[in-house]
Amino acid sequence: MSQREVATLAGGCFWCLEAAFQDLKGVENVQSGYAGGRVANPSYEDVCTGTTGHAEVVQITFDPQVVSFEDLLHVYFTIHDPTTLNRQGADVGTQYRSAIFYHSPEQKATAERVIAELQAQKLWDEPVVTELKPLTAFYPAEEYHRDYFRRNPTQGYCQAVIAPKVAKVRKLYFDRLKQPA
């Protein structure tokens, strides 16, 4: 049995990230939560104030023999705008920043390389502002945030914001999707 790895990524609302990564082959678990702040065990309400320093993140457990950290980063940069500081669309605040919380020196090096490659391709008019920091702590989000898109597919935010991101991943990475059970 191969080793599992963990990636922790912030790129706006964690509901969007969770839904986009859940269907990828090799992804075994996606958990919404908080990272990058200075308060232990923050609540959603605490994080939403923007005063704790946390970002909404997803922690992805994956099989690197099936999907690499680099593959996950390419999906990540497809589903959010890494050039907007502390915002994604209408979601504004430090909790919505773009950040990669790396778990190893190898993840840091891979993230630096991927960011440099994407910048060189000039995919965006503005520079990438994604933070690159070591993960110091991850705090799982409250139960009602987990699997949000699957549990609330007709909710307005899910329809307007999350569904298009999920559709984009399913279109661009069709060959990397899990087969329906």
Catalytic center residues: 13
Are the C-beta atoms of residues 145 and 44 closer than 8 Å to each other? yes
- Say which amino acid occupies 32: S
CA–CA separation, 64 vs 61, rounded Å? 9
Residue 150: closest CA among 53, 21, 44: 21
- Say which amino acid occupies 10: A
DSSP structure class, residue 132:
E
Q: Quick one: the chain helix, strand, coil %, rounded to 5?
A: 40, 25, 40
- Which strand (E) or helix (H) includes residue 118? helix 105-120
